[in-house]
Amino acid sequence: MQINGPTMRLFAIALGFLALAAAHDAQAQAYRVVVNEANATTSLPSADVALIFTKKKTTWPSGAPIVPVDLTATSATRSAFSQELLHKDMNAIKLYWQQQMFAGRSNPPDEKASDAAVIAFVKENAGAIGYVSADAVTAGVRVLTVR
Amino acid sequence: MQRLLVIFALTLATANGVVAQTITQNLQIHGFADWGVGHSSGGTYEYGSKRGTANDGTFALVLSATPAPRVAMFTQLGFDGVGHHVTEPKLDIVFAQYQLSDRLKLNVGRVKQPFGEYSEIFDVGTAHNMLMLPHGVYDVSGTMGEVYNGVGFTGGIFSASRWGLLYDGYVGNVAVTTLRPWQDTEERSRLMHEVLGGRTVVETPISELSFGVSAFTGHIEDSHDGTLSERHSVFGAQLDWATTRFGLRSEVTRQQEPDVHETAAYIEGTARFAKNWQLSARWDASRASGIELANAAPALARHTDAAVGLNYWITTGFVLRAEFHDVAGNRFIAPLQAVDLGKRTRVLQFGSQFSF
């Protein structure tokens, strides 16, 4: 079978799209957002997740307080989560919380050192929401779909 | 200074390193401090003085607690060290907040005055772009206070498309520190009563771009007989934009009293050129006018500061800064001798700012 120039170009473009899709998928899978199993929420818009982790949205639809929990600032998972959902790098995040806490507005979420610590915190707190790396064991918590 | 360092060391020891500590889930301790030294070719300005003393520093301890759902309390204790003198702790803020919803939170007490970009983080150096804030807007021009004593509200509305509207309003009294070199050489603290003020900021979906307006008005108490006399009104507009590497911030304010008007503005930019290194630059100016200045030397009514700086961020909570300022006018710099009035002042300074 002969493969002519236009077919090759088409093939290359298709491969490019596949590579992009794979890259996007890999990025989307860098973290998973988790809540307590007692929480009825199964999915959240990405904008709501951003509002929750900047404490601009502080209550669940039931009226219960939302308790976000972060990974520590050096975590690659946090970096990916912040870039993709909060649209801020870690310097901007730190600056945002300095402005909030020293203005007397709100304090940053608690930080946990590992996925296991985040999972344990979310298990113990009915209103908690956190994020963990894609390969973390999430038994005992609910993984949310972020739309 | 020694006492300041002891207090700071004790705080760090308590806080177990330069990190925010949560004593319990409901009580948090944070703090911020700065220190600097500089040389000025003329009068004292920022950290720069003719002799280049290295003693000026400030430190503040911030405590916050959430004793009950929807209730938060904030306290800030401040210390200043100038030369051999360290002030007694002063209560910068203490207020309680009740959250009705994300759209409406009520504040009562001694609350940071929401005005422009910096009034609520006035002394928090790690949230600034340079060692000190632009003088025309934030120095002793008397444009605004640091806190209001009274009641207020704050809140925000946010859309799924990442637009946001933040708002604040308050009534109470405000103390403004004012230096009017055409009247005398000492700063005066003037109390404003019946203050009504607010701020609105629009957040856009464009990378960290926001803009807003602020205003407040009230009557100034006559320091001689305690009666309320002049009306002091201030208006301001702000613009802020930032990306991972670049930042741009600008404000313009106008303050009005029957006999004095003052317009101030600044624009400052930053560029991060390596992981820890950042360049900063600022142009800052103010002009005072009015009947009160009819016989004043023009240099006392104007201020222009063109500044450049180099920042090294050890962490996001610890920065070293080196700056050069070229200042025209004597609005905020007293001349060393009468013949120096109107001469330019150049300041080279170095400082460190940290927060936890």
Q: In this predicted structure, what is the pLDDT of residue B17?
A: 37
3-class DSSP string for B199-225? EEEEECCCCCCEEEEEEEEEEEECCCC
Is the pLDDT at B319 greater than 80? The verdict is yes
What pLDDT digit, counting tens, does each position of A70-94 carry? 999 999 999 999 999 998 888 899 9
Name beta bridge partners: A133: A31
Cβ contacts from A onto B, under 8 A: 85
Please say if the pLDDT value at position B180 is more than 70. Answer: yes
Q: Could B244 and A92 be called an inter-chain contact, meaning their C-beta atoms sit closer than 8 Å?
A: yes
Q: Are A24 and A18 in contact, with CB atoms under 8 Å apart?
A: no
Report CB contact under 8 Å: B124, A102: yes
d(CA B348, CA B341): 20
pLDDT given for residue B18 in this prediction: 36
**At residue B47, what are phi and psi to the nearest 5 degrees?**
-90, 0
For residue A56, the chain B residues in CB contact (below 8 A) are 102, 156, 158, 164
Q: For residue A13, what pLDDT band results from cuts at 50, 70 and 90?
A: low
Task: List the 65-94 stretch of A: residues with Cβ below 8 A of B.
Answer: 65, 73, 87-92, 94
For residues B298 and B279, is the Cβ–Cβ distance under 8 A? Answer: no
Q: Is residue B325 predicted with pLDDT exceeding 80?
A: yes
**Size of chain B, expressed as the number of residues it contains:** 356
CB contact under 8 A, A94 and B127: no
Tally the C-alpha atoms within 13 A of residue B311's C-alpha that lie toward its C-beta: 31
Of B111, B160, B355, nearest to A98 by CB-CB distance is B355
Contact A50 B162 (CB under 8 A): yes
Reported ipTM: the value is: 0.84
Burial (CB count <10 Å: 0-12, 13-18, 19+), residue B263: middle
CA distance A104 to chain B (A): 6
Q: Does A147 touch chain B (CB under 8 A)?
A: no
**Is B207's CB within 8 Å of A108's CB?**
no
Q: Which of A51, A59, A102 sits opposite B121 (nearest CB)?
A: A102
What percent of chain B has pLDDT above 90? 67
Question: Would residue A19 be called left, alpha or beta, if left means φ above 0 and alpha means ψ between -120 and 50 degrees?
Answer: alpha
In a 3-state reduction of DSSP, which class is residue B103?
Answer: coil
Rounded Cα gap, residues B36 and B353, in angstroms: 9
Q: How far is CA B262 from CA B143, B212, B303, in A?
A: 8, 20, 11
B62 → closest Cβ in A59, A88, A102: A102
> What's the farthest any 2 CA atoms get from each other in chain A?
72
Q: Provide the residue type at B71 as one letter.
A: V
pLDDT of residue B198: 98
Query: Contacts of residue A50 in chain B, CB cutoff 8 Å?
Result: 162
Mean pLDDT over B2-26 rounds to 45
Take residue B95 and report the two structure tokens written for it: 């207020």
Q: Give the residue from A57, A98, A124 with the most B CB atoms within 10 Å of its CB, the best one to mutate.
A: A98
Q: Percentage of chain B with pLDDT > 70?
A: 89
- Interface residue of B16, B77, B101, B121 to substitute, partner A, most A CBs within 10 Å: B121
**A2 contacts chain B (CB < 8 A):** no
More confident residue, A90 or B169: B169
- pLDDT score, position A7: 61
Cβ of B127 within 8 Å of Cβ of A51? The answer is no
Closest chain A CA to residue B112: A103
Predicted pLDDT of residue A10: 57
**Pairing between strand A67-71 and A31-36?**
unpaired
Min Cα separation B338/chain A (Å): 41
pTM: 0.85
State the average pLDDT over residues B73-90. Answer: 81
- pLDDT of amino acid A21: 46
Distance CA A20, CA B221 (A): 67
In this predicted structure, the answer to whether residue A109 has a pLDDT above a threshold of 70 is yes
**Looking up tokens 């050129």, which residue turns up?**
B273
Which of B32, B74, B278 is the mutation pick for testing A, counting most A CBs within 10 A? B74
Residues in B touching A94 (Cβ below 8 Å):
316-317
CA distance B244 to chain A (A): 7
Beta strands in B102-209 (DSSP E): 104-112, 147-158, 164-178, 188-203
| B242 contacts in chain A (CB < 8 Å) | 92
